[in-house]
Amino acid sequence: MIKTKDFTIEELDKFREFQRRSFAVLATVAENVRPGMTEQEAARRLRKAFHQDGVHTYFHVPVALFGSRTAYPGEFGKFEALATERVLSPGETVILDAAPIYDGYTVDTSYAFTLEPNEVFERLDKKLPELRDLILNLTRTRRSMQKICWTVDDQIKAWGIENCHRKHIAAVMGHRVNRTSSAFMRRARIWGLAPLEVGYFLLTSRLANFGIRRATPNWNHTAACDIAPQPGLWAIEPHLGQAGVGVKFEEILVVTETDAYWLDDDLPHHRRWQQ
C-alpha cells in the first residue's frame, strides 16, 4: 500500500504538481501574515487553505514559527515546533511548514520569509542555494547519507552558523516521502494525520535502529544512515540559525540507483534566490 521508489514519470509529475500546490498555499498564507498574529492563527489559516485545496490528511500538521523560534533556540524539544500563542513582531522571521497528502501523494514543504528587510535573514538565505547544490553533488557521488550530513554540518560550522536541522525530530536533514496506493487508507485519518503514512514511518525508523539500515526513512548523521543514498523521493530540509533568526527550505530530491536530481527548479524560494 506504500510505494517508496520506482516511481513512473506520471507519478513524478503528480508529486511535482502537488509540491507546487503546497508551496502555493504557503505563499498565499504568507501574503496575509501580519504583526500581531499568533503562530496558532497562522497555522489555522494554513489548515483552512489546504482544506480548500482538497487536503484532508497530513504527514505532519501545518506549523508556523515566528521570530527566535524559527532558529530552534536552546534544547528545543521534539514537539516545540508546534504552533503556539507566540505573537509576530515587525521585522521578525517567519517559517511556514506543512506536509499535506494529496490523493495519496505526500509532499513536505517549508517557506521562510520576512515582512521587512532583515540583514541576518538575507545573509543566511544566500547560503541555502549553496547547500542545495552541495547536497545534490554529494548525493551523486554515492557517498553515504551519514557522511553527506557530516559534510553539510562541517560547511555550516565553517560559515559560523548553527545547524538547526540537528534539532528536528530524528535529527533529520531529510526524510522519505511516499505514495499511498490504497484508496481506503487515503481516507483514514486520526487528528488530521494519515495513520498508514505515520505508522510506516515509525515502523521503518525502528527497523533501521535495529540494524536494517536500508529501511530507514530518515536522512541524518546517525549510524542507521551509513549507507548510500537510497532510491526514492526525499524531502530535504537544511535549516540554518543565527542571532535568533532561522531560515530553511524543504523540497523533494529524487534519488535513483545511479543519479539524483531535484524534482523542481521553479519554486518560490528559487525565484527569491534568483532575484
pLDDT at residue 3 in the model: 87
CB within 8 Å of 268: residues ≥ 6 apart: 23, 26, 27, 111
pLDDT at residue 228 in the model: 95
pLDDT at residue 188 in the model: 66
How far apart, in Å, are the Cα atoms of 171 and each of 1, 106, 163, 262?
Answer: 27, 20, 10, 22
pLDDT at residue 185 in the model: 59
CATH class of 2-274: alpha beta
pLDDT at residue 4 in the model: 86
Single-letter residue type at 47: R
Per-residue pLDDT of the chain (275 residues; tens, 9 = 90+): 888 899 999 999 999 999 999 999 999 999 999 999 999 999 999 999 999 999 999 999 999 999 999 999 988 887 899 999 999 999 999 999 999 999 999 999 999 999 999 999 999 999 999 999 999 999 999 999 999 999 999 999 999 999 999 999 889 999 999 998 766 556 666 766 777 787 877 878 778 777 776 778 999 999 999 999 999 999 999 999 999 999 999 999 999 999 999 999 999 999 999 98
Closest CA to 63 of 80, 79, 81: 81
pLDDT at residue 189 in the model: 64
Residue 38's H or E segment, with its range, is none
Distance CA(238)–CA(220), nearest Å, equals: 11
Looking only at the bridges linking them, the beta strands covering 174-177 and 245-248 are unpaired
How far apart, in Å, are the Cα atoms of 249 and each of 95, 111, 127, 184?
Answer: 9, 6, 11, 32
Which contacts qualify for 263-267: CB closer than 8 Å, 24 or more apart?
263/12, 263/15, 263/16, 263/19, 263/233, 264/16, 264/19, 264/20, 267/19, 267/20, 267/23
